[in-house]
Chains A and B, each alone.
Chain A
Amino acid sequence: MDWLYALMPIAGVEIFWPGLIILGLGVGMIGGFFGMGGGWMVTPGLNILGFPMAFAIGTDIAQMAGPALISTARHTRFGNVDYKLGLIMVAGTVGGFEAGAQLIMWLERMGKVDFYVRATYLVLLTLIAWLVFTDVSRKMRKDREARAAGKALDKLSTGIEWHKRLHNIRIPPVVHFQRAGIRCSAWLPISVSFLTGLLAGVMGIGGGLIRMPALIYLIGCPTHLAVGTDLFEVAISGLYGAASYSYKGRTELMAAVIMLMGASVGAQIGSVATKYVKGYGIRIFFGFAVVGCAVSIVFKLIAAASPVLRAFFDKAATVLILGLVTSLSLYIFTRFLLGVREELAAKRMYRASV
């Protein structure tokens, strides 16, 4: 079975290459569906397959741009990308990310910061999960009340409406984002993207996990628009990250290319699956992904605090992340298959009736 293992030229380790394709497939699907790069899922996966941590991070970021570009192109066809909003946010994201990276380097030189970074990450994820599930429960309550009053359900209503207050702060220049249907001060997306970029830089992540909910709850994007626009950002930051990590000599291109074979298929499946799922369906499962990520960080914190329990909780965190990737991928793939079946059946019926 030697043919199932490939020697990586840069990292110098033998890797089970079908594992890379499967990992790419899963992450492509999740990324295309939720609008994120999925660094928090890929890095432990690559590490398990045998990559040293330094190469796992760089390789993950290097391959990220490929599926993100594929998904962005597909979401553009569906009308899910607001390029004007995306470009304005890129400026804030890059500025914030650099500031965050500088901050973390300074903190690292000062001493051990791992614990504080993980703890902040945990607080942030808890906040996002709370936000998502509070929003969903409020939206359900609104729908229930509308049904009880015999009124028609408002498809555009949302549970949490913080963005409406933020839109009222009209500091010039005020910009109209046609595709997203938003009119607000340009400073709103710039400051939100700077903040999410700063946090991403400090946490050492791509930022999709933070930016996607920020686009929904702070800027007021519809869910599908948030997914598409965030993927555009992921593609750009992925390219920047690929250049940066490759220049530092921390990427294994061969692994990235093998992953890309799975990710290109996964990205298309994930993007197309959003056609068949309502915005709130995406939000709910995004919330579950955030909860899973938060629990894995709790495991990592326990492992770091207790040398006796380290081995167990390190493994538990990795198993949890990979389990999450598997279950989310299966969910997305099932929704894709069901949606395709319905669409094809509807087309057949239409053709038969004509």
Chain B
Amino acid sequence: MLTRSTRLRQLGILLLLIPTQLLAAAGKAEAIVIVADSRSFTGWKAWWTNLYNESHFLFALATIVIIPTLGVILGTLTGLLLSRIGIDLRSRELAEH
């Protein structure tokens, strides 16, 4: 049987050790680096993989510019196509929950 003071001492040691464990785990997670193999590509694909390897910041910037821009262009084209069919794309009856 463990005495109350022993239990409290063990709990104290455990609490002291937890932050160390957390910091160690965080260190390992940050150390993971993914590198894209650009050797098998030419043209824009090679440029893209090189951009990824050189700067994740520029890679992220390019992604958040390309996705919405392309989305708006493709969406507009689809909208034009649907309106050509004759669908009313400007209004709908909004009278119920």
A-side interface residues toward B, CB under 8 Å?
7, 9-10, 12, 54, 62-63, 65-67, 69-70, 73-74, 77-80, 106, 108-110, 155-158, 222-224, 239, 242-244, 246-251, 253-254, 256-257, 260-261, 263-265, 267-268, 272, 274-275, 278-280, 340, 343-344, 347
Contact of B21 among A109, A263, A267 (CB under 8 A): A109
Which residues of the partner chain B approach A65 to less than 8 Å between Cβ atoms? 64, 67-68, 71
11 contacts between A and B (CB under 8 A): A66-B74, A69-B75, A70-B72, A80-B92, A108-B25, A109-B21, A109-B22, A110-B22, A155-B96, A157-B97, A343-B86
Nearest-neighbour CB distance to chain A for B8, whole angstroms, equals 21
Contact of A278 among B48, B89, B96 (CB under 8 A): B96
Which residues of the partner chain B approach A265 to less than 8 Å between Cβ atoms? 74, 78
Contact of A77 among B36, B49, B90 (CB under 8 A): B90
| B25 in contact with A260 (CB, 8 Å) | no
Task: Report if A264-B75 is in contact (Cβ < 8 Å); known contacts: A9-B45, A246-B56, A340-B87.
Answer: yes
> What does the 1/0 interface line of B80-97 toward A look like (CB < 8 Å)?
001001111111101111
Tell me what chain B mostly uses at the interface: helix, strand, loop, or mixed.
helix
How many residues of B are in contact with the other chain, CB < 8 A? 48
| A243 in contact with B64 (CB, 8 Å) | yes
| A253 in contact with B72 (CB, 8 Å) | no
Most buried by A among B48, B52, B60, B67: B67
B70 adjacent to chain A (CB < 8 Å): yes
Contact of B56 among A223, A248, A267 (CB under 8 A): A248
